[in-house]
Structure 1
Amino acid sequence: MNRNASLDKLKSEEFDICIIGAGASGAGCALDAVLRGYKVAIIDKKDFASETSSRSTKLIHGGVRYLEQAFKKLDFAQLKQVRHGLEERHTVLKNAPHLARPLALMTPVGSWIEGLYFKIGLQIYDTFATNDSLPKSKWLSKKEVLDKIPTLNKKKLHSGVLYYDGQLDDARYCLALVQSASEAGAVAANYLDVTGFTKNDSGKLVGVQVRDTQLGPEFIIKSKLVINCTGPFSDKVRLLANPALPERLRPSKGVHVVLPFETLNSEYAMLIPKTSDGRVVFAIPFEGAMMIGTTDTESDSIDSEATLNESEKQYLVDTLNPFLANQIDISKLKAGFGGLRPLLSADPSKSTKSLVRDHEVEVDSSSGLVSLLGGKWTTYRLMAKDTIDEADAILSKRNECLTANHMLAGGENFDPLLSEQLVSKYALPVDVARHLVRKYGSRATLVADFTSSDSTLKERLSTSYPYIKAEVIYTVRNEMVVAPRDFLARRVRLEITDWNETLKCLPVVANLMARELGWDESETKRQIDDYSLQLKQFIADAGA
């Protein structure tokens, strides 16, 4: 993906469909549309997956909480959401085997009655997972639970119920969708801010006016149809197209804290089934750390980035502490992150945590804008299918959806043993080779190739992590990395797992990028200073 080449095409060509928003839903729509034969443009105000789609709990799941609510409240909309999630779970795992994998989750219980309750519930969850290869749930003894998660509080533990869902690297999965769409013919570009629309004599949208936030100029992308996939920001785009539309979204903020891996000291994740506000909370191993999340609070503002604050940090730590033998040392907080859920609601009296994570495709009869509203990561493909089915109807086409079996970028000819070949051929350390395969899949060799001509590119960005200099060069040239945060937060996940190490290796990353992008000394310093200031503010907000 080359940004300058994309900009030239966006300025000079006309498209069948222009998609605004390159998170999971927008990227899913772009891939679906281009595979159906449409000429597609996809743009984002910031980087790909820079908002909600990179700030999830990293789970591919039907939603255990939705299942419980469905039976407790006889809410069959929740049941439909579980079924859709579990139907899509195996597809998400199958189509990007390097970025998504099964995850074992333990639910610790304090009595046999509680154990029976969760075992029955998770057996029902299993029955919804048809055509699925994941193991079924099991009720384990206290000893079996402690063998798997040795840090749990023995005194309060009776037994545990083990079940399986999937885990993904959300930002890179979204990038793989954009890459796959681009390689199938779509034109993708990041850092294009929508400032308005052009309309024909009938008032229908025929162009998207954008400003290049990197280079400055405004231009118009001509398109027969415009699809709004901006998640929690959807109302802004809807009202820009038609100010008479009512607002539809109730954004909800969710945050995660990231602690050392030793907090659980296990490759097993944990589901905490009871919290003070009626949610479930997960403790999940991710990228060599342990992540706890998430919260659910009404969001007052969508204009500033959702970040972790001190009270949210304390809530999540207090939720996990009763289950642990040793209390968490909060001074060991490594990082944290927040995001906004795009929840749909027609009833302002409902709390956000009671809202269903379902989606809706809205067509504005006045402007012709199509908006994909609501939804969640696991069902991104189904959401995209529904949206492009609607596009078919509008454009008087009838095309088959081909995404169910479309292997994503890096998944083609994927060999789990590729890391051994990288160690042998390029003399890379084992942990570096494994990391490259888990991030780039079958394309890991392309990253490693850079080290053949320049051995300094084998050097680690941080002594504590397997990320190497070659990745910076590769991602700038092939994955449209424009700013240091694109690389450190989303191409590798260092920002969300270790703030201090991110600050330490930021100058190295920025200087490597400067060589590729032609930054002078003052621009390189500005890039370092801007991102450094942002990270330090995150640390201050969290009271870390």
Structure 2
Amino acid sequence: MNRQRNQQRVRHESFDVCIIGAGASGAGAALDAALRGYRVVLIDRGDFAGETSSRSTKLIHGGVRYLEQAFKNADLAQLRQVRHGLAERRTVLRNAPHLAHPLALLTPVFSAFEGLYMSIGLRLYSLFARHDSFPKGEWLSRAKALEKMPTLTPGLHSAVLYYDGQFNDARYALALAHSADEAGAIVLNYTALTGFERDDQGQLTTALTQDQLTGETGSIRARVFLNCAGPYADPVRLLANPRLEPRIRPSKGVHIVLPRDTLNSNCAMLIPKTSDGRVVFAIPFGDSVFVGTTDTDYTDLEQEPVLEADEVTYLLDTLRPYLAKTPAATEVRAGFGGIRPLIVSNRADTKTLLRDHEVEHDPASGLLSLLGGKWTTYRLMAQDAIDRVGEQLNQPKPGCTETYYLVGGEKYRFDDWKSLQRRYQLDDDTSQHLMQTYGDRAEWVTQLILQDATLSDRVHERLPFIRAEVVYHVREEMAMTIRDVLARRWRLELSDWQLSALLAQPVADILARELNWTDDYCARQVTAYRMLVASFRHDAGLSTAPPAELLKM
């Protein structure tokens, strides 16, 4: 992906469809539309997956909570959502095997009755996914449960084991955008929608844009405009037609990040009931454990959702009955918040709102809006949206994304890390990281070392990341800022705030060389990023003192 080339193309071409929002659904829609042969442009005011799509629980699942509600309330809509989710789970894992894989989850129970109840429910869950190749779940004795997760409370009766999918959400969305680009779409990050132009009938003809890095304005002509802005869909709808009623009820969900030895297991944990009627997950991810999520109304869309002190307390309290030793707040390394795009309904609270989706057409402006949904069903959402685009164009064409490998996935074999290690004299952990992050494009990264041997250097002794990756992020993945690298391409900001602050300078030095930053601009970017991370720690009620390593620099 080359941003400068794509900007040049946008100035001289017109399109069948302009897609606004490059999260999971928008990037998925761009790929779907490009593969059908439509002329496509995808824009986002920030980075790819810069908002909700990079801040999920990292699970690909049908939703065990939806299944329980379906049977308790005889709710066929909930049941349909589980079936859709489980069917799409299989596709998500198949199309990017380097970024998604099965994950074992343990559900601790405290009585035989509770174990029987959970076991029956999760067997039904597996039954709905009967065509998957996932391992079968089972009801484990107390001894076997503690063997799999030694940090569980000894007071448990037993545990129920089942399987779902885990994935790297930000890199998955990036792979969708990258695949769309290679399929012929034009994709642009940091390109904000500022307004629309219309014809005499009020139908949208042109999107007015502004480059968020340079301030340069522009315009995009298209026959159809598709709003995939997720929780920010209503502002786009109102820009197209101020008379429309709001349709999105934003809901904030946060996670805290703890050391991996909190669970000391390759299994995740499902906490089936909380004080406010939710389920919470504790999930190993790299050398960390992500715990979440919460569910509260959120109204200030101009502010980034962040982890707050009372949410840290809530999630630690939720863990307490299930672990032999509850982590202290001082052990929280990081945290992150996201906003769910729940569709307005008459349900009383956000916990009971369905995560299903809808494609809305506004006759007055012609705008199509993809509303609601969740990560697992992004492909189905995109398919439905592009079906409607085809109808609006009077050029319906069938989709083909169900079996389409994303960038890095088609020839991926994890064991290829060994040949990568031998050929480029890399450490084992670095070679494995490269293979699991870039798939069959890993050698595109390592080939940069042949041009500059210093690019094989690790950016920090505790991490498998190497300098060549940052160069690749700029040249092939449109990384434009420090945060693009640390938060979304490496995911470090999600798991370790202090280490992210420490690496801001070495990452910025590489970006400066690739993007022609001045020394002054580079220094300001590092300072701004470190202040941002310090604000996250402050909001979460944690110490804002810099790490000792940072003080030495």
Which band: TM-score by shorter chain? over 0.9
Q: Which amino acid aligns with 1:141?
A: S
Counterparts of 2:109 and 2:483, CA distance in 1: 41
Counterparts of 2:537 and 2:271, CA distance in 1: 26
Q: 2:394 — aligned with what?
A: 396
Within a 5 Å distance, the mapping from 1:111-510 to structure 2 comes to: 111-154=111-154, 156-347=155-346, 350-510=348-508
Q: Sequence identity, in percent?
A: 54
SS class of match (1:283): strand
SS class of match (1:417): helix
Counterparts of 2:305 and 2:460, CA distance in 1: 27
Q: 2:517 — aligned with what?
A: 519
Within a 5 Å distance, the mapping from 1:24-103 to structure 2 comes to: 24-103=24-103
Counterparts of 1:475 and 1:533, CA distance in 2: 23
Counterparts of 1:480 and 1:208, CA distance in 2: 22
CA contact (8 A) 1:96 1:407 kept: yes
Counterparts of 1:73 and 1:473, CA distance in 2: 53
Query: When the two structures are aligned, how many residues end up with a matched partner?
Result: 542
Counterparts of 2:272 and 2:354, CA distance in 1: 18
SS class of match (1:405): coil
CA contact (8 A) 1:87 1:130 kept: no
Counterparts of 1:328 and 1:381, CA distance in 2: 38
Q: Which amino acid aligns with 1:435?
A: H
Counterparts of 2:531 and 2:286, CA distance in 1: 24
Counterparts of 1:153 and 1:93, CA distance in 2: 32
Counterparts of 2:400 and 2:48, CA distance in 1: 23
CA deviation vs aligned residue, 1:225-273 (integer Å, no higher than 9, x gap): 0000000000000000000000001000000000000111111000000
The structural deviation recorded for 1:202 is 1.2
Q: Which amino acid aligns with 1:275?
A: T
- 2:33 counterpart of 1:17: no
CA deviation vs aligned residue, 1:342-367 (integer Å, no higher than 9, x gap): 000132x6200110000000000000
The structural deviation recorded for 1:131 is 2.0
The structural deviation recorded for 1:452 is 2.6
SS class of match (2:414): coil
CA contact (8 A) 2:474 2:514 kept: yes
Counterparts of 2:524 and 2:17, CA distance in 1: 36
Find the partner of 1:543 among 536, 541, 544: 541
The structural deviation recorded for 1:13 is 0.7
CA contact (8 A) 1:334 1:497 kept: yes
Point out where structure 1 has 5 or more consecutive residues left out of the alignment.
none
The structural deviation recorded for 1:526 is 1.4
Q: Which amino acid aligns with 1:321?
A: R
Counterparts of 2:460 and 2:115, CA distance in 1: 43
CA contact (8 A) 2:414 2:432 kept: no
Counterparts of 1:514 and 1:369, CA distance in 2: 39
CA deviation vs aligned residue, 1:418-453 (integer Å, no higher than 9, x gap): 111111111110110110011100000111112233
Q: 2:550 — aligned with what?
A: none
Counterparts of 2:378 and 2:476, CA distance in 1: 24
CA contact (8 A) 1:47 1:486 kept: yes
CA contact (8 A) 2:345 2:353 kept: no
CA deviation vs aligned residue, 1:33-69 (integer Å, no higher than 9, x gap): 0101100000000000000000000000000001111
The structural deviation recorded for 1:464 is 1.4
Counterparts of 1:529 and 1:239, CA distance in 2: 36
Q: Which amino acid aligns with 2:511?
A: M
The structural deviation recorded for 1:454 is 2.1
CA deviation vs aligned residue, 1:373-411 (integer Å, no higher than 9, x gap): 000000000000110111111111221110001000001
Moved over 3 A (4+): none
Counterparts of 1:350 and 1:326, CA distance in 2: 36
Query: Cα RMSD (Å) of the superposition?
Result: 0.8
Q: Which amino acid aligns with 2:66?
A: Y
SS class of match (1:365): coil
CA deviation vs aligned residue, 1:519-541 (integer Å, no higher than 9, x gap): 01111011111111111100110
Q: 2:551 — aligned with what?
A: none
The structural deviation recorded for 1:300 is 2.4
CA contact (8 A) 1:267 1:285 kept: yes
Counterparts of 1:290 and 1:124, CA distance in 2: 28
CA deviation vs aligned residue, 1:1-20 (integer Å, no higher than 9, x gap): 11111111112110000000
CA deviation vs aligned residue, 1:284-334 (integer Å, no higher than 9, x gap): 000210110000000021110000000001100110121111121221111
